[in-house]
Structure 1
Amino acid sequence: MNTASVLAVCRVHQLLSDEGRLGVTAIDKRPVDGPVKVHRLGLRGDIQADRIDHGGEDQALYAYSQADADYWAAELGRDIPPGYFGENLRVAGIDATNAVIGERWKIGLDVEVEVTSPRRPCSTFQRRVNEPHWVKRFTEAGLVGTYLRVVRTGSIQAGDHIHRLYVPAHGVTIGKWFCDPTVQDMEALRDADADGLIRLQPEYRQEFAKLQPAD
């Protein structure tokens, strides 16, 4: 079995001009050398230009798997280097998209994170990749990666091992919730949250409302 590890730790390289409402984006993440401090809101020295839709404790870090990046490299006919999709962590040996919601990982010696929610593609991401209908393609492929909440702070760096500490029994993965959420998935997540086994971010309530069966 392959050992799960961090291939690269990425943070904002420069702010880029963007046609969106803010006029600027921090999606240009690139690998950094050596250990990087991790606090509750993410990597030290990293920023989010759009703090309404990105960032915060529930989306402190974004992890993307190398296997999924390899898929897109083949599809697009170009390299997808670490950070190109705006991710903070490029990981290997662990499937970020198919992580169970509420799953916890230990990264390196002291950092602990919790899987929270899927990345939902936006027009800024499409402009970054510069591919027609990119939001649609990315959505249909369902290889979305996961946002992470920082449970325990510390430092991380490329080469750190990732260990699964806890996998909730409800079994609903990031990819399943993104691609095909069902009432059964909703009930499993809601029950796990009510029982204190996971901690769902507030946005899930809005998504639950869309799945509620009509009276």
Structure 2
Amino acid sequence: MLSERPRVLSVNRGSPVRQRVPRGKDTGIRKVPVEVIRVLDPGPRRVEEGHGVSGVEGDFVGNGRHHGGSSQAVYAFAREELDAWGAELGRDLPAGMFGENLTTTGIDVDAAEIGDVWRVGTALLQVSGPRVPCATFAERMGERGWVRRFGERGRSGAYLAVLEPGEVRAGDEIAVEPGGSGIDVPTVLRALLGDQQAARAVVAAHVLREPHHSRLAAGLG
């Protein structure tokens, strides 16, 4: 059980680097701790100068077609979950290893519901969805079957939209105002990974922003 007050343990930002996947393109998945990050609403997902737009100033987004934009402005992942993976994999996982901008402690990020509002530092953030694992993430980890393993665990961390811009530092407390949607982050992850029952629940609740809601609805059998 989590006993300490919810807070940010580390704030992380990525610079463009090359790895085998994606081939011939930069990625910003390798985040490293910094003193402070400034967050803002980056607007719709789009490609600018060959890359995407992040909600964290100075944070690189390599694939603007599938990452970045308002619904994926900031990514949060729990230190407790990093430690659980580290124990399973037999390796240390530093803050930012999963590409998260906020490494949290004292809060079950994966129990968050879509629409929950977080006051963090001087910023106001809103839980908007899960992180879906991809080949770039798998290459970063270097673990066999990583996309499947991470997806099956179902504890993806949460993407956050920026309602009010501001600055976030390590040590900032996280104050949560429940959104009351009744749809938690793992349910949306299952929906996006093909679970039709979960997809129907998510579509019925209409909790996802566009175009994500319409895309999920279009895939219902």
Q: TM-score range by the shorter chain?
A: 0.7 to 0.9
C-alpha contact 1:98 1:176 (8 A) present in aligned 2 = no
TM-score (norm 2): 0.85
1:184 aligns with 2:201: yes
Instruction: Tell whether the 8 Å contact from 1:30 to 1:82 is kept in structure 2 after alignment.
Output: yes
Deviation by residue 1:168-194 (Cα, 9 ceiling, x = unmatched): 22311011221351523431x22xx5x
CA contact 1:62–1:146 (8 Å) conserved in 2: yes
Q: Distance in 1 between matches of 2:157 and 2:13?
A: 16
Gap change, CA 1:47 and 1:13, over 3 Å in 2: closer
Of stretches 8-17 and 89-98 in structure 1, the one that deviates more from structure 2 is: 8-17
State the match for 2:185 in structure 1. Answer: 174
1:12 aligned residue:
14
1:61, CA displacement in angstroms?
0.5
| 2:98 maps to 1:85 | yes
2:168 corresponds to 1:156: yes
Letter in 1 for 2:17: L
**2:45 paired residue number:** none
Partner of 2:138 in structure 1? 126
Query: Which ranges in structure 1 are unaligned for 5 or more consecutive residues?
Result: 194-198
Q: Offset of 1:83 from its aligned partner?
A: 0.5
Q: Deviations over 1:81-107 (max 9, x none)?
A: 111111100011112222101111000
The runs of 5 or more residues in structure 2 that have no matched partner are 43-54
Structure 1 residues 21, 39: closer, same or farther in 2, change over 3 A?
same
Partner of residue 103 from structure 1, selected from 98, 112, 116:
116
**Residues 1:144 and 2:156 are matched in the alignment:** yes
Partner residue in 2 for 1:210: 219
Asked if 1:36 is matched to 2:49, the reply is: no
**Aligned partners of 1:18 and 1:25 also within 8 Å:** no
User: What secondary structure is seen at the aligned counterpart in 1 of 2:128?
Assistant: strand
Does the aligned pair in 1 maintain the 2:15–2:60 contact within 8 Å?
Answer: no
Deviations 1:141-197 (A, max 9, x none): 1110111100000111000000012x222311011221351523431x22xx5xxxx
Write out the 4+ residue segments of structure 1 that deviate beyond 6 Å after TM superposition: none
Identity %: 36
The answer on whether the counterparts of 1:22 and 1:50 sit within 8 Å (CA) in structure 2 is: no
Change (3 A) 1:201 1:97: farther
